Amino acid sequence: MDMNEFNLKVIEEFRANAGKVGGQFAGAPMLLLITTGARSGKTYTNPLVYSRDGDRIVIIASKAGAPKNPSWYHNLLAHPTPTLEVGTERFKAKATIASGAERERLFDQQAAKMPFFKEYQKKTTRQIPVVILERTA
């Protein structure tokens, strides 16, 4: 099964079960990130695990440790106002890229709960971006 097929099944399960999914993501906090394509202008939906930092939502552009950032990250750079689905809520957000000590703190905080992020960082030479999402509406 390719990544798109896998994601479609996760998205379907997420929407059918008020934001809860099973399998390898059972019990993990998950959201749907809805972005506008940087070049295409199309709408894309990606299921992602997240953590919270106060009222802010934190996502990590790991792409499982691949050499390049995920396409949703490039979409956010071009259009930093995604729509999020968290549980049964759907709302607009503003995306900012964390840097320096804040990036380290947020990455470490999420990796402590989800150790696979440490493994992903070991697999790649790029610094994995950390994105902060703040609700706007």
Kindly indicate the confidence band of residue 1, based on its pLDDT and cuts at 50, 70 and 90.
Answer: low
Largest CA distance in the chain: 38
| Predicted pLDDT of residue 87 | 95
Q: In whole numbers, what is the pLDDT of the chain averaged over residues? A: 95
**Structure confidence by residue, pLDDT tens digits, 35-52:** 999 999 999 999 999 999
* Stretch 113-118: mean pLDDT: 95
Q: What are 43's strand-pairing partners? A: 36
The model's pLDDT over 68-107, given as tens digits with 9 standing for 90+, comes to 999 999 999 999 999 999 999 999 999 999 999 999 999 9
**d(C-alpha 98, C-alpha 2), whole Å:** 30
53-71 pLDDT tens trace: 999 999 999 999 999 999 9
Q: Where are the domains of the chain?
A: 3-135
Q: What pLDDT, on a 0 to 100 scale, did the predictor assign at position 51?
A: 97
**Better pLDDT: 4 or 13:** 13
Is the model's pLDDT at 25 over the cut of 70?
yes
Q: Write the DSSP assignment of 80-122 as a string of letters.
A: ---EEEETTEEEEEEEEE--HHHHHHHHHHHHHHSTHHHHHHH
40-73: b or e for each residue (b if 16 or more CB lie within 10 Å)? eeeebbbbbbbbeeeebbbbbbbbebeeebbbbb
- Could you say which of 3.40.50.2300, 2.30.110.10, 3.40.1350.10, 2.40.160.60 is the CATH number of the domain covering 3-135? 2.30.110.10
